[in-house]
Amino acid sequence: MKHRYGRARPGAVRRILQLCSVSLVAVSFSLSAGATEARRGGTLTVGLESELLGFDVVQGGSLDPSGEITMRAVQEPLVRYDYETGQTLPLLAVEWNASEDQTVWTLRLRDGVLFHDGSPFTAQDVAAHYGRILDPEQNAAGRSTLSVIESVEAVEPLVVRFHLRHPWPAFLVMIGSTGISGPIPSAANVDAGNQNRQPVGTGPFRLTQWSSGDRLVVERFADYWAADEIQLDRVVFRVLPDTQTRYASLQSGEIDVMWTDRGQIINEATGNPALVAVSVDGGGAENILINARMPHLSDQRVRAAIAHAWNQEALVRISWQDTKPVIDHPLGGTVECGNVGYRAYNPERARELLADYGQPVAFEFVHTATARGRELGELLQFMLQDVGIAVTLVPVDQSTLMRRVATRDFAMTGWRIPDSPDLEPQLYSAVHSTSQTNNSGVSTPEMDAAADAMRLATSRDESVALQCEVSRHINEQVSMLWRGGGRYHVITSQRVQNMPTPWRGIIDVTRVSVTD
């Protein structure tokens, strides 16, 4: 039996704004302990909970964990954050520098990079990509998160310049994200309207097959700029929504690697000598969104009653089987926020608040039609029924759930705050009144002020303190419930070698190799 734990995320990320001039020439991927010598060639099969909705993040491509795993193989961002060292490393950009006031960042791009169609990667592709995201008419999901970026210009073929509205410590982290906007597509392919289903990227693999609901197949890109680092010939992403089916497929050898958050499977795999269980702690959170635009939920007393009826400890014990930590904020175990006003389980207090509200409360809970989704719905339904709130469960598929959240067509639903080296952008977009992704609709002048101050922070320590303050407002206003913190689990077969630590639960298959 092999059981590997990644190190907890460093308590303080090195201040990006101190790196006014960075020039690094090698991309060094952290490999998991015990890796053996790589064998070139072979196929890796990855089991996914859901499939990517598209490769164009502006057009609506989904970048949940499953989507991000697929995206990383085909498209790349400008830089890469190294969780082990707290440094930002080169990828498509090889060096960068900031102006004295930290509002203008100039990046030099890697020379000789080709897209999958053989065309050269240039600064114009970068400028066009971010221009679309920032264009209000495009209604891109990441626009609120990246609103500090005022404009992006191609200065030279291999030089791109970002103009910021104010200094932003999270800038390099965000342009390195593969979960919001980072992956750069071919501008020509985007203009042709093909990017979402027929992507052209710079990644080590190119898409060769997409059978919706079944699989995506990518094959090695021979002209990749770091071709010598790529071992696999092909990666198959199998869409297996049922977790038990994915696990059975891993055990039988039909797939080689899977992400899961099912406690029973994680604990079973940990004791299975034929498998390798990898776990890593970080930030982020599983949560439940409460849509304050809906009847009853617009009243803070009702939301507070729901929070006091919610027993996070019981859910972590029953559903996660203690494979996630109980939390009162999403910043991770290395961040000490002090008292953030977490509303602990107190059903008597919940009944008092509902009596003060004076009306019967009933609404729908939208959840995925999976075992995990049903379990979450049934636990919430039971807990709220205990205090007199009637909850109707509405099971839907993953894509429908995401669409309903995007259109605010829900009362309550399961969601998550993804982990990141800096959670400021996610928190800002989740709570600010002007944000397109404030899906709860909860906002107050005090919450906006805290979020604005957080975004304008000029140091990491100041930003983290204000992130704690925003978390306090979330708990006070009850825009969401916590249902477990950032502990992420990946399970592989013994044939998988050189698997990087799965920070944020994202499986990076690009430098993986397999044995016979």
Q: How much is the pLDDT for 194? A: 94
pTM above 0.85, yes or no: no
pLDDT tens figures, 52-74: 888 998 876 555 677 888 999 99
Q: How much is the pLDDT for 12? A: 35
Cα gap 217→209, rounded to integer Å: 5
Contact between 510 and 205 (Cβ < 8 Å): yes
Q: How much is the pLDDT for 31? A: 37
What DSSP string describes 131-177? HHHH-GGG--TTTTTTTTEEEEEEEETTEEEEEESS--TTHHHHHT-
As a whole number, mean pLDDT of residues 445-467 equals: 93
Six-digit token string for 82: 């190294």
The pLDDT mean for the chain works out to: 89
pLDDT tens figures, 80-127: 999 888 899 999 999 999 999 999 999 999 999 999 999 999 999 999
CATH superfamily, with its number, for domain 282-487: Dipeptide-binding Protein; Domain 3 (3.10.105.10)
As a whole number, mean pLDDT of residues 379-391 equals: 98
pLDDT tens figures, 208-252: 999 999 999 999 999 999 999 999 999 999 999 888 999 999 999
Q: How much is the pLDDT for 144? A: 82
Q: How much is the pLDDT for 60? A: 64
Q: CA-based angle 431:437:442, to the nearest 5?
A: 40
pLDDT tens figures, 1-56: 333 333 334 333 333 333 333 333 333 333 343 444 556 899 999 999 888 888 99
**51-55, 223-227, 273-277, 442-446: the lowest-pLDDT one:** 51-55
Beta carbons within 8 Å of 462's beta carbon, 6+ residues apart: none
pLDDT tens figures, 119-172: 999 999 999 999 999 999 988 878 888 989 999 999 999 999 999 999 998 999
Contact between 340 and 468 (Cβ < 8 Å): yes
340 has pLDDT over 70: yes
C-alpha of 480 from chain center = 17
